[in-house]
């Protein structure tokens, strides 16, 4: 019992260090950046809201959206797309920063280890995106979007999206270890997920060849399920199709991400390039 309490205390200490001290406390120190970050969450909602208003219902319906408004469609997309792009970027950028600061060796010899460093660092990205999602959905609600959420379904879908995103984040961290600069994984998920993941328009409007890439993205299936859960109130039993696909992707991506990351870390350590930038 005492050992378990000690282990719990150790985990809580690490969460406090990574999330509060290195995350929230540092972030809130730069108040201008906080304000700009919140604006970056909110402004796209208004941009696409007025775009949808200008397009009109007939054109919106013609691109494959029925039963929900364009504002509702894009709000869910913007709210949850950040989980993928931000967590992937957070993991690789944290690694990059530790290389620049010359502190990466500290995590190699610490109790949490380099894998623990990735796990705890990613939690800050999850918290930030959860705050972002709540703000975006609240703004959308003020613009007239009505939610009929099945909370259990939303939680399950978000967890499965986060697992796949963590896996891709480990791939991005592996590239940072090997090539140092110019990370193609981070670039792709920052630049193209809005286009290919069905974030602000249905993937049905894409050419078939490009749509095949969309089907390979966990974000595509997560957003489809989240829209049904949040906007239509679909229970989790009606969303098993999306959950099964996400589960398959998680089973494939997590071992792949962990394996590639472990290999890259051992290779960089063996070659003595771990802290090079």
Judge contact between 19 and 124, C-beta under 8 A: yes
Q: Tell me which range, 2-16, 183-197, 207-221, is most confidently predicted by mean pLDDT.
A: 207-221
CA distance 67 to 211: 22
* Residue span of the structural domain in which 144 resides: 2-271
In a domain, 145, yes or no: yes
> DSSP characters for 185-213?
HHHHHHHTHHHHTTSSS-GGGS-HHHHHH
Tell me whether residue 197 is in a domain.
yes
Q: What is the pLDDT of residue 261?
A: 83
Instruction: Single out the residue of 220, 214, 230 nearest to residue 161, CA to CA.
Output: 220
Choice among 114-118, 219-223, 236-240 with the minimum mean pLDDT: 114-118
Cα 22 to its chain centre, rounded Å, is: 19
pLDDT on residue 174: 80
* Tokens representing residue 86 in the block: 């931000």
What DSSP character marks residue 144? T
Structurally, how many domains does the chain consist of? 1
Residue 79 above 60 pLDDT?
A: yes
> Considering the domain boundaries, does residue 31 fall inside one?
yes
User: Tokens 């460093």 belong to which residue?
Assistant: 117
Whether residue 66 lies inside any domain: the answer is: yes
Burial, 171: exposed, middle or buried (Cβ in 10 Å; 0-12, 13-18, 19+)? buried
69: in domain: yes
pLDDT of the residue at 139? 92
User: How confident is the model over 239-272, as pLDDT tens digits?
Assistant: 999 999 999 999 999 999 888 888 887 787 777 6
pTM score of the predicted model: 0.83
Confirm whether 100 is domain-assigned.
yes
**23-64: pLDDT as tens digits:** 677 777 878 878 888 888 888 888 888 877 776 556 556 655
277 within a domain of the structure (yes/no): no
Cα 184 to Cα 113: distance, rounded to the nearest angstrom: 25
Flag whether pLDDT at 228 surpasses 70. Answer: yes
Q: Which residues of 75-112 are buried (b: 16+ CB within 10 A; e: fewer)?
A: bbbbbbbbbbbbbbbbbbbbbbebbeeeebeebeeeeb
Most confidently modeled range among 44-53, 96-105, 119-128, 217-226: 217-226
Residue 276 forms part of a structural domain: no
């Amino acid at each position: 019992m005492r050992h378990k309490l000690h282990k719990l205390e150790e985990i809580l200490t690490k969460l406090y260090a990574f999330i509060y001290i290195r995350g929230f406390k540092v972030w809130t120190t730069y108040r201008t950046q906080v304000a700009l970050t919140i604006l970056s969450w909110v402004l796209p909602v208004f941009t696409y809201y007025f775009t949808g208003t200008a397009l009109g219902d007939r054109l919106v319906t013609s691109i494959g959206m029925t039963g929900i408004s364009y504002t509702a469609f894009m709000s869910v997309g913007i709210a949850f797309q950040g989980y993928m792009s931000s967590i992937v970027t957070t993991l690789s950028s944290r690694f990059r920063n530790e290389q620049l600061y010359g502190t990466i060796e500290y995590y190699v010899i610490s109790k949490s280890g380099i894998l623990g460093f990735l796990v705890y660092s990613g939690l800050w990205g999850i918290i930030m995106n959860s705050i972002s999602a709540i703000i975006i959905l609240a703004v959308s609600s003020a613009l007239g979007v009505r939610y009929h959420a099945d909370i259990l379904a939303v939680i399950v879908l978000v967890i499965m999206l986060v697992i796949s995103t963590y896996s891709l984040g480990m791939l991005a961290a592996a590239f940072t270890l090997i090539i140092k600069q110019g990370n193609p994984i981070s670039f792709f998920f920052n630049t193209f997920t809005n286009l290919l993941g069905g974030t602000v328009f249905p993937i049905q409007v894409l050419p078939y060849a490009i749509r095949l890439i969309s089907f390979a993205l966990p974000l595509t299936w997560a957003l489809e399920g989240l829209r049904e859960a949040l906007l239509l109130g679909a229970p989790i039993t009606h969303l098993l199709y999306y959950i099964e696909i996400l589960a398959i992707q998680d089973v494939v991506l997590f071992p792949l991400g962990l394996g590639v990351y472990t290999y890259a870390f051992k290779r960089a350590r063996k070659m003595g390039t771990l802290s090079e930038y």
